[in-house]
Amino acid sequence: DAKTTQPNSMESNEEEPVHLPCNHSTISGTDYIHWYRQLPSQGPEYVIHGLTSNVNNRMASLAIAEDRKSSTLILHRATLRDAAVYYCTYSGSARQLTFGSGTQLTVLP
Amino acid sequence: GAGVSQSPRYKVAKRGQDVALRCDPISGHVSLFWYQQALGQGPEFLTYFQNEAQLDKSGLPSDRFFAERPEGSVSTLKIQRTQQEDSAVYLCASSLYRIVSTDTQYFGPGTRLTVL
């Protein structure tokens, strides 16, 4: 099974950068790393994905370690609307995504 | 544009009742997934469809759980003789392709099932 490890919770001040870490030591060379986030009472929402090199989109940046055993989701300026549970995941040999417990991000005003 | 929709959003059932949960995926999406999310946990995979074919049902917790997608679009998750441990949020997700590692899954808002 695809397995990831994330801290249970993190806090950030509004308008400051946030670095959310994830370990995925069992990932294979062809698996993309995906990040989703889940706001209260909503389904998970896609944030970003990448394979080897760092990725940027309008929501966030993804920094992937050279050995691909870990990655970091970077929110450049956290807002109150970014408060959510963030999941790092990959599909492994299965088609489905395997979610861990995620990181609960609290953004302080 | 229309995203994934699920109905009902909330369902309360008495123990032993049968329930049916509906998912309307994004039009044209080939793949459809059902996940179960217990309180405070991440979603857990239940089953996967590619068009109308159910290719993986390894996550269904018991034979009381049944899913179908007869015309390759709308899907229904049915739970027979509900038990209290079935109480959870049931999430549906769809994706455009026949699952490649880059494919993004789009989730619906979920159906919160409470079994009394």
B42–A30 C-beta distance less than 8 A: no
Q: How confident is the model at residue A103 (pLDDT cuts 50, 70, 90)?
A: very high
| pLDDT value of residue A28 | 82
Whether residue B99 has pLDDT greater than 70: no
B101–A30 C-beta distance less than 8 A: yes
Percent composition of chain B: helix, strand, coil (DSSP 3-state, to 5): 5, 45, 50
Q: Is B43 on the interface with A (CB under 8 A)?
A: yes
Q: Is B30 on the interface with A (CB under 8 A)?
A: no
| pLDDT value of residue A85 | 97
3-state class of A34 per DSSP?
A: strand
Q: How confident is the model at residue B46 (pLDDT cuts 50, 70, 90)?
A: very high
The mean per-residue pLDDT over the stretch B19-26 comes to 98
Q: Can you tell me the distance from the alpha carbon of A100 to that of A71, in angstroms, rounded to the nearest whole number? A: 15
- More reliable by pLDDT, B82 or A58: B82
Q: Are B34 and B23 in contact (CB under 8 A)?
A: yes
- Residue pLDDT, tens place only, B4-13: 999 999 999 9
Q: Is B99 on the interface with A (CB under 8 A)?
A: yes
Which of A43, A91, A101 comes nearest B91 by C-beta?
A: A43
How far is the alpha carbon of A11 from chain B, nearest alpha carbon, in Å? 18
